[in-house]
Structure 1
Amino acid sequence: MKFLYSLLFFVLAFNLQAQTNLDYYLPQNTTYNPVIPTPQSVIGHEVGEWHVTHDKLVQYMYALAEASNRVHIENIGSTYEDRPLLLLTITSPENHSNLSEIQNAHIAATESNTVSTANRPIVVYQGFSIHGNEPSGSNAALLVAYYLAAAESDAVKQLLNESVILFDPAFNPDGLQRFAYWANTNRGKNLNPDPNDREYREVWPGGRTNHYWFDMNRDWLPVQLPESRARIATFHKWLPNILTDHHEMGTNSTFFFQPGIPSRTHPLTPKLNQELTKKIGNYHAKALDKIGSLYYTEENFDDFYYGKGSTFPDINGGIGILFEQASSRGHIQESANGLLTFPFTIRNQFTAALSTLEAAESMREELLTYQHNFYKNAREEAAKKNGKAIVFGDEKDAAKTYHLAEILKRQNITFYDIKSDFKANGKSFKKGYSYIVPKNQKNTRLINAMFEKRTTFTDSLFYDISSWTFPLAFNVDYAENVSTSYLGEEVTQLTMKPGKVTAKSNYAYLMQWHEYYAPKALNAILKSGIRAKVAMQPFSLQNTDYDYGTILIPVQNQSKDADELYSFLNEIAKESHVTIDPASTGLTEGIDLGSGKFRTLEQPKIALIVGDGITSYDAGELWHLFDQRFDMTVTKLDTRSLQRTNLDRYNTIILPSGSLNGADAKALKTWVENGGTLIGYRYALRWLNNNEFLKLNFKTVERTATNISFEERSDYNGAQVIGGAIFETKLDRSHPVNFGYKNDKLAMFRNTTLFVSADKQSYNNPIQYTKNPLLSGYISQSNLDSLSLTVPFKVQRLRRGNVAVFTDNTNFRAFWYGTNKLLLNTIFFREQL
């Protein structure tokens, strides 16, 4: 037996050494320019021998650009960890000398009613490894870049003459670095393919995500992350004809390329898009056949959500293509298809990258014409909407409105200020707090994709969310088909409304709670040691109406004198974009400023539970919200050491979706009973209920599959999933969890099937789904019936403390601004809940 194992490892080592030679990857029907450095000469190892770290990848790309007149490199941004986001432009030297003219001509063709494809290069955007622990893409990028820079064949030279290649070698530098460290530090001299080996079992949160644990392949449309902002700017600068997105999937799979499942394509995507995708796929099939690799197409994946890299181009006149390679998740691993080596996965990605370029060159005129016609047809559709526009805004929250407009700006959508206040569909739109978007413009289809509400579908299964209606996500008022007569000045320089203290007071200051960044201001106030209170009822003072949740800052008996307090609050107001009013008297219409209806607030001291058993996406979104948006310090408590941690340092602990062990439950419960506030999300609710932190009545959905075949069972069960849809709730605005919301209706995002029954006492249901709650997206009828009149939020006392729970994520993917305040209210007003 020992002899057999020794023989196996010898064979593995020999095969891997053979595979990591450049001859294993590169076409041998050409010569290679010896002046161009090979990857090994720069990074110190053969491609596939080790996982390339991002710093070495960067080093090689710069070396390549320095040596080759086919390659130009630029740093287009930085990650949260300050790693560079590189963009290589690869084309012939002749095209490089004329690149601005090529770009201008390419964009002009999307704005003209006539088209000429003669002598116009096709534009291809090739991007790799947006999930850091799917590294075969970025490792293949070393080879693709070398091949394009060094290959001397006439075919390559012609390809470069007829193409401009926008080359992004690492969509996710932070995640790639994290995973490369893991795989390399767990690699042995004798490679071990045993899937139980530590090499193939990453520690939490894994390398898939970026610094804040976001899945960046869901951010192409909302554009909330720095990596996305950089590449979206490049995308709109060039409008590529093809964009490729190189991924990995389960080890026992083979290789997938699009098109995906035809019935799951978004209706706004032209039918010809999928036909062209399939035609390009023939080139992939031919190339993979040549090297003997198995593959499949038109299964599993879809082209519905426009926030994915492979689907985003489809609503912007291009063709998006997803590649999914079976993952070795390390250097070599047993699989259903035999031993899967890292070099093998790299070669498949390399092969698909080259077949993409072959297809692009061969189909150049066809693809250029398609893009031209896409925008020409879009202009014809938009012309029918001439004089019509969409208006959106929140008359009491300029910041939230600004952040929605910020997305439109990043997506090259033209919009305007409104020239004066007006009403539409019963909603008030205030100048300075609203923007108006004409429908008759170039990106009209993208506008439709962002603002549409859709409740009917040809398929009931979705790879991702089924709705993302942006004005609902931001909880802003909006109206469609309003007249463009309301247009004011075009917004070319988008700026957020400045904050200020309107005048000095020697008595008190008042801050309304409607503005998005009011919690940021309050946190800074409390952190400085300044006392503040919250109004539990509305009141009026000095001809101004103050709503539930107004913050009172008395001037007397503070740690700062009146002048210092005024100066301090002015700085806070400016930084947080809020307005703070002076009060010269405590006598109001309603509750007076000295009333017991003003409750004293405590500085939040927040801990976030992370680690094994916790959903990293949910935890990362929370961390990002506090750290990036509200400048609030949050302590991340790892589940491995939770029971050994002194929890008394915190007054608020957040448990994202997940569960803990029994010892942790005991420690956490004792902390709550002593006065802490525990906030639970999503599937943590079941764990909290089972461990008697609170009592929840979950509604169960009875399902009986009739006339469903064995073959259809998977689709039937998949149709019962709520992958992501939007639902209407009714708010009790007097409850502290709802402070700062001006309307009594709120759209909430849901992607769970947790249905919590409402309490018999109506005042214990501050947020409740309406009887017919579906606003946009897919939900099965049985789930919709079960959701009706249930509640997405519960709060219950546990001795001196309380437990508050949300059935769904109020911070979804960083762009669901509209429900962020529910969490902040639960934190700041925890003792008033």
Structure 2
Amino acid sequence: MTRIYLFCLSVFLSFNLAAQEDLDLSYYLPQDVTYNEAIPKPQDVLGYVPGQWHASHDQILAYMRSLAEASPRIKLENRGTTYEGRPLILLIITSEENHRNLEDIRKQHVALTEPGSEKIDIANMPIVVNQGFSIHGNEASGANAGLLAAYYLAAAEGSEIENTLDNTVILFDPVFNPDGLQRFSTWANIHKSANINPDPQDREYNEVWPGGRTNHYWFDMNRDWLPVQLPESKARIATFHNWYPNILTDHHEMGTNSSFFFQPGIPSRTHPLTPDLNQELTQEIGKYHAAAFDELGSLYYTEENYDDFYYGKGSTFPDIQGSIGILFEQASSRGHAQESDNGILTFPFTIRNQFTAALSTLKAATSMREQLLNYQRNFYQNSRKEAEKGAYVFGSTKDASSAYHLAEILKRHQVEIHELKENFSKDGKSFEPGSSYVVPKKQKQQRLLKAMFERRTAFEDSLFYDISAWTFPLAFDVPFTDDASASTAGAKIDSLTWPAFAKPEMSQYAYLMQWYQYEAPKALNQILEKGIRAKVAMQPFTAGGKKYDYGTILIPVQNQKLKKDELHDFLSEVSTDAHISIDGVSTGSTTGIDLGSNEFRALEPQKVALLVGEGITPYDAGEIWHLFDQRYNMKITKLDITNFSRTDLDRYTDIILPNSWGSALDEKDADKLKEWVRGGGTLIGFKNAAKWFDKNDFMDLEFSESEVPAKNVTFEQKDDFRGAQVIGGAIFEAKQDRSHPVNFGYADDNIALFRDTTIFVKADSTSYKNPIKYTEKPLLSGYISEENLELMPGTVPFKQNSMGRGEVILFTDNTNFRAFWYGTNKLLMNAVFFGNEM
């Protein structure tokens, strides 16, 4: 489809603001059909017509349940709950006849993706469409349109709807993000006036931090389709793989001054593993949207702004699964009505556009049914033919937990995984059974695997809507090879179990815990919170014939608050809970530092605070909150910077300043933090904190910067020129000094870091002050401009500065990216637990 700029005469405001309260369903619904009076209308449950107020999640839930009770076309599934305990429901909507044979239909549809699919007759096979709404909670027109779409599908009568339901199974997800939508609907409704005010400066249209876009932990859930770290994602990915829908739609909102976008996006930014036919079919489906919007008189556009590169988005993930992902972006009223370049944009108008797109999707699906079913069948047939021989192998004898967590993600994507048959080495990397996994390349999900494991550094385009690299083994910091023989595979793993770990044997003397293990910080926190004395080894040693590395935790038996039997029982519980090995030893005599050496430094319980609020990036703050609360079961106090001047900082040993924008903290705040640091506190900053630390004399930093002149760049090209200098998200290699406390628990000298910033800090002239340093050829995967790549070698992503009795620590990179960058989580935990030793 060529770029469409349909500047037709549009009735953008079909009724005035006062008439918004007089809405009825005729504004939204097709009027050439009849509706079953036995089916409850939205207002029968909500108490108002959609669009008059913002429906909360509990109201939407109540209405969907009432539809399921009233309509034989609908079956309701509860697939779990959000972090806040809200149900993650799914409506399966189809004809009564299809419902009677639903499991057979599902199995036959899944069989279309399996070997032998060429024998399946698709002439009468229903197409499967997954429709999802408002994964960003403050993009509410989608979920509110879902109320109308569900009603239409349940109540509409006549040959057209019967044909649709006979030929389609609709997986209807009314709210992708229940927690965020609940938060936003409350905001919009409590600020609604009787006389709706469209002034964009009104408080109704300006949410307080962090807003309703994100889930409970402030994650952008539309980036989690591939990592699958959040409960909402786990539910929808399980649904996807249970059905393999042919089309998946994802209803969003964008800036108020825009119109309506539907895919395809910018052609040059499609991932190379996505077949060309996928985009052609997307264009074909787009014709149905265009026709519907032409009839409605609404403006729209396509092939601009958005792309299909990162497979972690709802509109792109289906593209690597033989499906068609469709992104819808509606200009947002962000409340009930707002001034815009296109006139006054009302909430009902945005709902109507989303509802129209939902129906045009179903019309396209019904009309293109055999075409799309054949495409999915051919996708997997071709995938099997092109599958390479061999296997991926990944694992770690020192940190089997991280490898296990990577295997968890693969299993969520229905990837076939095997045990490692026997010890195996490749390119200097060693793998052992029990801590390693084999993933055959010749399998159904071979294209998805390639997308997850590949390192890509060459691109057709230099601009990306999201990140340009996500190589999963690098994210988990586990050794891996993509060049193993399939013969390395042992028994197939149907159900993952935790790797074996050694519970402590009773000791009269001491216990040792290696710091390699991913869950070690969780265990250490439990130990210190219990009031048990523990120390950290500043040097390696050998005890009982076993090597212990930098960062090993020592728990003496003597002078503890627990008796030796109680201590053993408690450490056994810790070992089980954290899935880690703890060793009992009978002597303090070792090869290397003895257990009574001063090179074992005493540790204290940590009380950590996280700065949050206006000016702090919610995503970065949420990732840290999630890491402490969900991964390591550690308390973390969220300090709102609005109240910072009145906050008693002496309660905390560590304060974390996430990435920020503008002036989150002022000069007085800086002085207060300096006084706290000088008194013994550890201040840990991320990304843009580098500039703030330098400006406010927490650190003396020298930055490497490049000014790229705009030569032969036209006015039209200026945005692309600037965008090409952005690091949207790529992976880089750094060298580690493993004797430095920030690197305790890392087995190798090199580490893969995720970077989405152009802040380059020059190294210190004193070598030991550069414990993490980018290598001479740092790019591992992803896009970076040549100019920025020239700046990076030899710069440092970590800085530390002593100030009085305290420490200031800086990470220029995100160590906690989207909850799946397991491999660098320990850098932050090392700063927390061992900051005083740096």
What's the TM-score, normalizing by structure 2?
A: 0.97
Distance 2:536 2:483 in 1: 40
Aligned runs of 1:400-415 on 2, under 5 Å?
A: 400-415=402-417
Distance 1:263 1:501 in 2: 54
Q: Distance in 2 between matches of 1:528 and 1:498?
A: 25
> 1:230-629 counterparts in 2 under 5 A?
230-382=235-387, 385-386=388-389, 388-629=390-631
Tell me the equivalent position of 2:107.
104
* Preserved contact between residue 744 and residue 830 of structure 2 (Cα < 8 Å): yes
Residue number among 220, 223, 232 corresponding to 1:215 in the alignment: 220
8 Å CA contact 1:418, 1:435 repeated in 2:
yes
Q: What is the CA–CA distance in structure 1 between the aligned matches of 2:242 and 2:506, rounded to whole Å?
A: 48
SS at 2:760 equivalent? coil
CA separation in 2, counterparts of 1:433 and 1:491? 13
**Corresponding residue SS for 1:358:** helix
For residues 75 and 124 of structure 1, the distance between their equivalents in structure 2, rounded to whole angstroms, comes to 19
CA contact (8 A) 1:499 1:576 kept: no
Q: Cα deviation per residue 1:80-104 (whole Å; 9 max; x = unaligned)? A: 0000001000000000000011111
Aligned 8 A contact 1:72 1:89 in 2: yes
Secondary structure of 2:34's counterpart equals coil
In structure 1, what is the equivalent of residue 21 of structure 2? 17
Distance across 2 between alignment mates of 1:497 and 1:377: 36
Which residue identity is paired with 2:62?
Q
How far residue 14 of structure 1 moved from its aligned partner, in angstroms, is 3.3
**C-alpha distance after superposition, 1:547-571 (max 9, x if no partner):** 0000000000000111111111000
Once the two structures are superposed, what CA deviation does each residue of 1:453-485 show, in whole Å capped at 9, x if it has no partner?
A: 000000000000000000000000001121111
Equivalent pair of 1:71/1:149 in contact (CA under 8 Å)? yes
Aligned-partner residue type, residue 358 of structure 2? A
Instruction: Kindly provide the CA deviation profile for residues 577-611 of structure 1, in whole angstroms up to 9, marking residues without a partner as x.
Output: 11111111111110011110000011111000000
Q: 1:126 aligns with which of 120, 128, 131?
A: 131
SS in structure 2 opposite 1:35?
A: coil
> Do the aligned residues in 1 keep the contact of 2:191 with 2:203 (CA within 8 Å)?
yes
Separation in 2, partners of 1:664, 1:503: 50
Structure 2 Cα separation of the partners of residues 801 and 202 of structure 1: 37
Aligned to 1:4: none
Structure 1 unpaired stretches of 5+: 1-8
Give the CA deviation at 1:662. Answer: 2.1
Distance 1:113 1:103, change over 3 A: closer
Amino acid at match of 1:16: Q
- 8 Å CA contact 1:730–1:746 kept in 2: the answer is yes
Preserved contact between residue 392 and residue 435 of structure 1 (Cα < 8 Å): yes
Aligned-partner Cα distance in 1 for 2:155–2:287: 27
Describe the SS at the equivalent of 1:820: helix
Output the CA distance in 1 between the equivalents of 2:60 and 2:739.
Answer: 56
What percentage of aligned pairs have identical amino acids?
64
After superposition, where does 1:785-796 map in structure 2 within 5 Å? 785-796=790-801
Matching residue of 2:164: 159
The answer on whether the counterparts of 2:384 and 2:442 sit within 8 Å (CA) in structure 1 is yes
Report the CA distance between 1:12 and its aligned residue.
Answer: 3.6
Q: Secondary structure at the match of 2:779?
A: strand
RMSD value over aligned CA atoms?
Answer: 1.1
CA distance in 1, matches of 2:533, 2:177: 43
Runs (4+) of structure 1 moved beyond 4 Å?
none
The aligned counterpart of 1:28 is: 31
Give the structure 1 partner of residue 55 of structure 2. Answer: 52
Q: Deviations 1:131-155 (Å, cap 9, x if unpaired)?
A: 0000000000000000000000210
Q: Deviations over 1:678-721 (max 9, x none)?
A: 00001121111111111111111121111111111110100000
Q: Secondary structure at the match of 2:180?
A: helix
Alpha-carbon separation, structure 1, partners of 2:499 and 2:483: 26
Following TM superposition, by how much is the alpha carbon of 1:498 offset from its aligned partner in structure 2, in angstroms?
4.7
Q: How big is each residue's C-alpha offset from its partner over 1:4-28, in whole Å with a ceiling of 9 and x where there is no partner? A: xxxxx9974433135x310000000
Q: Which runs of structure 2 are paired with 1:706-785 in the superposition (5 Å)?
A: 706-785=711-790
Q: Deviations over 1:24-59 (max 9, x none)?
A: 000000000000000000111111000000000000
Q: Unaligned stretches of 5+ in structure 2?
A: 1-12
Deviation sequence 1:392-439 (CA, Å, 0-9, x none): 011101111100000000000001010222211110101111000000
Q: Distance in 2 between the 1:374 and 1:354 partners?
A: 26
Distance of 1:344 and 1:468 partners within structure 2 = 38
Structure 2 counterpart of 1:211, which letter? H
Tell me which residue corresponds to 2:832: 827
Specify the alignment match of 1:41 in structure 2.
44
Which of 684, 689, 698 is 1:684 aligned to? 689
* Aligned mates of 1:761, 1:501 — CA distance in 2: 42
Corresponding position: 1:668 with 2:673: yes
User: Take 2:298 and 2:464, find their aligned partners in 1: how far apart are those partners?
Assistant: 28
Deviates more, 1:103-112 or 1:558-567: 103-112
Query: Of 164, 179, 186, which residue of structure 2 is paired with 1:181?
Result: 186
Secondary structure, aligned partner of 1:712: helix
Tell me, in whole angstroms, the C-alpha distance in 2 between the residues paired with 1:680 and 1:256.
38
2:85 and 2:515 map into 1 onto residues whose CA distance is: 34
- Once the 2 structures are TM-superposed, how far is the Cα of residue 502 of structure 1 from its aligned partner? 3.4
Aligned to 1:650: 652
The yes-or-no answer on 1:705 pairing with 2:710 is: yes
One-letter identity of the residue aligned with 1:674: G
Letter in 2 for 1:346: I
Are 2:34 and 1:66 equivalent residues in the alignment?
A: no
The SS at the match of 2:703 is coil
Q: Give the conservation status (yes or no) of the 8 Å contact 1:77–1:230.
A: yes
Equivalent pair of 1:12/1:191 in contact (CA under 8 Å): no
What SS does the corresponding residue of 2:302 show, helix, strand or coil? Answer: coil
Structure 2 counterpart of 1:631, from 630, 633, 646:
633
Matches within 5 A, 1:797-816: 797-816=802-821
